[in-house]
């Protein structure tokens, strides 16, 4: 099959699109990838299948829903598919346009599926995101060199890594509040490697956290191997998020054998294992309408995160830490792209 993949120009979804393409090519499909689909090009290529990988965000993605509706006039229904994510319920007038109800959606989590079904969108399946074991191997091959450098810069400290964008739901403010609540004794043992956007760099300086947090790359602009290596070099990965459609950094951390620290809510709780990760509760769900999505923010007290970091420091270097690291790898071993994405592609028929 000649498969045309149209995908969002965003860090996580670009990764997912390339992973799906890799699996499709391995299965013998000819794949064309575009961040902006072009109707004329699509027809010239004589593609037989069309896969959309976008957030289900009506103001941002309505043009692609319109493309889907247009193509529906020319293609069999089963030759188009939307692999979607949502951090809350699609909201507002654009979300009610009829074209959205023409789309066959595969949701990337049970949480996403529930949000789409709230507005009566057609969800035909749920396929979680996967990780690429080949990429994990490349990152681990690079980690020894990087670890020596990190240990020179942060001698005697326990390394935590955070990889996140700048949206309020990513939880940078909560993380910085938590770091400010650590006792001096604990703070001296902590080093946080951050892959973050520029506005987070400015906030680190403003809060006086430069002795604890070191930005090692700009989010969305680092090469893939280096992002994964920044997690692989860590002792723990912190996922301070308040809301996700899936939560790829958590999956990747566990695949690398790194225990993660995160709040316990869907969709993270759909694949996280409490035996290998350090989790904490949330207190409330706050709904915030932003750019056509009613985001659900799982609000937690930063003290919970500070306590989790303190607990992580107490565990590190013990047999319990080694058990957690091994359990992490074991818990996600069935969540590779090779296990998951053939099911996604099975919904496309030329």
Domains within the chain, CATH numbers bracketed: 2-130+338-345 (3.40.50), 133-334 (3.40.50.2000)
- Check residue 153 and give its pLDDT: 85
Sheet of 158-163, strand order: 213-218, 190-196, 158-163, 236-239, 260-263, 278-280
Place of tokens 């193509």: 71
What mean pLDDT do residues 156-185 have?
A: 95
What mean pLDDT do residues 79-84 have?
A: 97
Is the pLDDT score of 339 beyond 70? yes
Is the pLDDT score of 84 beyond 90? yes
What mean pLDDT do residues 234-246 have?
A: 97
Is the pLDDT score of 291 beyond 80? no
Q: Is the model's pTM score more than 0.85? A: yes
Bond before 92 cis per omega within 30 degrees: no
Confidence category of residue 160, pLDDT binned at 50, 70, 90: very high
Confidence category of residue 350, pLDDT binned at 50, 70, 90: low
Q: Which of 20-29, 80-89, 285-294, 295-304 has the lowest mean pLDDT?
A: 285-294
Is the four-CA dihedral 225, 330, 278, 17 of positive or negative sign? positive
Whole-angstrom distance, CA of residue 256 vs CA of residue 140: 8
Q: List, for residues 87-121, the tens digit of each pLDDT value.
A: 999 988 889 999 999 999 999 999 999 999 999 99
Closest by CA position to 123, among listed 87, 82, 66, 181: 82
């Amino acid at each position: 099959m000649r498969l045309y993949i149209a995908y969002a120009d965003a860090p996580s979804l670009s990764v997912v699109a390339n992973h799906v393409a890799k699996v499709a090519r391995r299965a013998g499909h000819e794949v064309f990838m575009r961040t902006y689909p072009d109707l004329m090009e699509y027809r010239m290529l004589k593609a037989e299948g069309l896969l959309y990988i976008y957030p289900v965000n009506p103001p941002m993605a309505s043009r692609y829903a319109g493309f889907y509706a247009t193509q529906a006039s020319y293609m069999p229904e089963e030759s188009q598919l939307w692999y979607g994510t949502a951090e809350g319920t699609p909201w507002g007038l654009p979300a009610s346009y009829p074209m959205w109800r023409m789309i066959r959606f595969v949701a990337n989590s049970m949480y996403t599926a529930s949000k789409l079904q709230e507005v009566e969108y057609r969800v035909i399946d749920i396929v979680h995101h996967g990780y690429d074991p080949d990429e994990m191997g490349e990152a681990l091959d690079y980690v020894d060199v990087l670890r020596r450098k990190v240990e020179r810069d942060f001698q005697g400290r326990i390394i935590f890594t955070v990889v996140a964008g700048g949206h309020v739901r990513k939880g940078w403010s909560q993380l910085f509040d938590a770091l400010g609540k650590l006792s001096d004794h604990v703070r001296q043992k902590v080093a946080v490697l951050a892959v973050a956007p520029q506005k987070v760099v400015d906030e680190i300086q403003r809060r006086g956290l430069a002795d604890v947090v070191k930005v090692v790359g700009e989010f969305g602009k680092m090469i893939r191997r280096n992002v994964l290596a920044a997690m692989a070099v860590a002792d723990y990965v912190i996922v301070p998020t308040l809301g996700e459609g899936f939560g790829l950094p958590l999956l990747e951390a566990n695949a690398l054998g790194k225990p993660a620290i995160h709040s316990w809510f869907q969709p993270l709780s759909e694949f996280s294992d409490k035996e290998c990760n350090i989790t904490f509760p949330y207190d409330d769900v706050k709904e915030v309408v932003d750019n056509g999505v009613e985001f659900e923010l799982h609000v937690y007290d930063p003290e919970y995160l500070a306590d989790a970091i303190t607990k992580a420091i107490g565990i590190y270097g013990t047999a319990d830490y080694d058990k957690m690291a091994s359990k992490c790898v074991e818990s996600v071993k069935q969540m590779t792209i090779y296990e998951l994405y053939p099911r996604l592609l099975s919904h496309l028929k030329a």
